[in-house]
Amino acid sequence: MFPSTFRAITCSMAILCVAPVVAQDQPAATNPNVSARPNIVWIMSEDNSKHYLKHFDETGVETPAIEAMAAHGVTFDRAFSNAPVCSTARTTLITGCYGPRIGTQFHRRTEPATLPQGVEMFPAWLRQSGYYTTNSSKEDYNAKKRMQPWDDSSRKASWKNRPSDDTPFFHVVTFADSHEGRLHFDVDALQKPTKFDQETVSLQPYFPDTQVFRHTAAFYRDRMSIIDEKVASVVAQLEQAGELENTFVFYFGDHGGVLPRGKGYIYESGLHVPLVVRIPDNYRRLVDREIGSRTKGFVSFIDFAPTVLSLAGVPLDKAGPIDGKAFLGQRIDAAEVDSRDTTFGYADRMDEKYDLVRSIRVGDWKLIRSFESFQPDAMWADYRYKMLAYQQWRDRYHTGKLNNVQSQFFKPRPPELLFNLADDPHEVNNLAGDPLHGDRLTELRMKLNAHLKQTNDLGFLTEAGMLKILDAPVANGKRLSHEIASYIDTANIAVMPWDQASKALLSAINSGDMLQRYWALVAASSIAASNRSANLDMAADDTFLKLLRRRTLDPEPLVASRAAQLAAILQTEDPRPVFQRTLQLSQSPTEALQIFNMVRHVHALPGTPFPMGSKMFQLPFQPDPKGLIQQHLDHLDLP
């Protein structure tokens, strides 16, 4: 299923363009206590997937307030963030657009993207149509505002401050009690009891069964109980003001997480979010569903903006559709929503860690394409490893105390991961190499590649390259669509049979196009890390090695650095002199940040054949002492 408007007009190159007028067929209220248009409230909890609420997963905690909402509304069993981290996910929510299409996919963006003409953060259209819009209080967007989306966005923002009781409102409240930072406790905290029973708490099979993990898993469920209390408070305030039955109340997580292998990763633990929508009695006519029902129809964050606009009676202009489709509202057919079965995910840089990953899920089948698969999931990120569970997991790996499933996180990945979620909900049994599922793999691969090309995925320009076009990312993506498609094809050499890939690699590595060379080297690194036979062939091939040495002298720092990284994987050449030179020649802090990601990967290779320290490197600029590059430098000096 490709992007389309909520009127099912397919348009994968879409931009958001909403006609700021109230729908004429929205009936006026006859009850003087009922607004002409419904209010809408979003309640977001940070960093939690659906797996920690019993309403969605039997191993979760009971959440009576959320369950009461569900009893008076609709539960969406298959709701997904498109990205597994805050800023990227929230930008998708506020625009209704795929991040890689509009240049907003990097977490802790170097620069905010300029939204295309006609694209606005959707509450701006609500404001223009007469809604009072408030946000309490987190924004965290990766794009520049044009029209102001909020009447108030602050800790004091409240729908109660609307100009009159007749003014409909859209209010967003975010609760941080479930945020990743709540799990940054010290060792002493392990002695404190948890309300959720640590003896019976369920652990994912990829975790070691230790006190640290049991305490963390139980403690996080306790945090979800606090979230439930906060949800109850919001609902109670609406009820006390006489507005509950005039208000659609959404509860959802702002992406998955936050135990290890959740936030930042596009496994289900990072993308599959809880979603419940309470349906107000006075607006049941806008929902084609039974109260208290559940649906397995797929909805994702690109769909939330058109859904709110649909409920509010603000139509989309046919000339400028967005990427998502409404799943509630007038003329939204429940049977059609129930038939939706596809979602796309994306992950790029998260803080200082680069890792370009894309996914597609169709029904219970999911394909994850790791374009830099030679890097393990466990690549270092400072904020992530503040958590004791992450630290212990890593330490037990290095001391040989993990089984094969628990060790997967710390090893290079296959370029493709294929999972049957019906049998393998935790995504630990990769079926990509199983001939029995070859047709399924081919089908999902083709659908994913078509999506990447049709959305002109800007991740294939690299972040440093993308920054040059952020003044008009969508227009430039269209202009460069042929080139982007060719870079995707080059990167996909990594999934070709080796006897076909070897010739294609030689040609692409010798290309006159900088990014063709770059992605060819990335593909070669993925092959070398996952295919022992191909690794040996590359290391023994004089023609290939001569070309690789030539690329280490490439005038483009990113290309030369990728060549050095591949040489380190093959252990044919010391990459450190190349990294020293390319960092001195780096043309921007963003380019240097990506090179340092390669440095850190090589530094962490088993046995550290090429150890490095911060004093080895000089930069043409002074790094921010509290910035991401300095984090890389500091960590290189740790024992």
Residue 472 · residue 114 · CB < 8 Å: yes
Separation between Cα atoms, residue 81 and residue 300, nearest integer Å: 6
The mean per-residue pLDDT over the stretch 291-302 comes to 98
Res. 26: pLDDT tops 80: no
DSSP 3-state assignment of 278? Answer: strand
Averaged over 148-170, what is the pLDDT? 97
**Is it the case that residue 213 has pLDDT exceeding 50?**
yes
Q: Is the Cβ–Cβ distance between 557 and 585 less than 8 Å?
A: yes
> Residue 465: enclosing H or E segment and its boundaries?
helix 463-467
Angstrom distance (rounded) from CA 564 to CA 574: 8
> In the structure encoding, which two tokens stand for residue 528, read together?
């070398």
Residue 607: per-residue pLDDT: 87
Report which of 68, 69, 56, 22 is spatially closest to residue 247, judged by C-alpha positions: 69
HSE of 494, CA atoms in CB hemisphere, 13 A = 28
Asked if the model's pLDDT at residue 61 lies above 80, the reply is yes
Q: How confident is the model at residue 34 (pLDDT cuts 50, 70, 90)?
A: low
The tens digit of pLDDT for each residue in 438-457 reads 999 999 999 999 999 999 99
Measure the CA–CA gap between 342 and 471, rounded to whole angstroms. Answer: 31
User: Which pLDDT band holds residue 25 (cuts at 50, 70, 90)?
Assistant: very low
Q: In the numeric block, which tokens belong to residue 368?
A: 């994850």
Lowest mean pLDDT segment, chosen from 18-27, 114-123, 365-374: 18-27
- Distance between CA atoms of residues 114 and 467, nearest Å: 11
Maximum alpha-carbon separation in the chain: 84
Asked whether residue 320 carries a pLDDT value surpassing 80, the answer given is: no
- The whole-model pTM stands at 0.94
Q: Is the pLDDT of residue 11 over 80?
A: no
Count the neighbouring beta carbons within 10 Å of the beta carbon of residue 620.
12
Beta strands at 247-253 and 73-80: parallel, antiparallel or unpaired: unpaired
Band (pLDDT 50/70/90 cuts) for residue 466 is very high
Average pLDDT, the chain: 93
Which neighbouring-strand residues pair with 4? 10
Please give the radius of gyration of the chain, using alpha carbons only, rounded to the nearest integer. Answer: 25
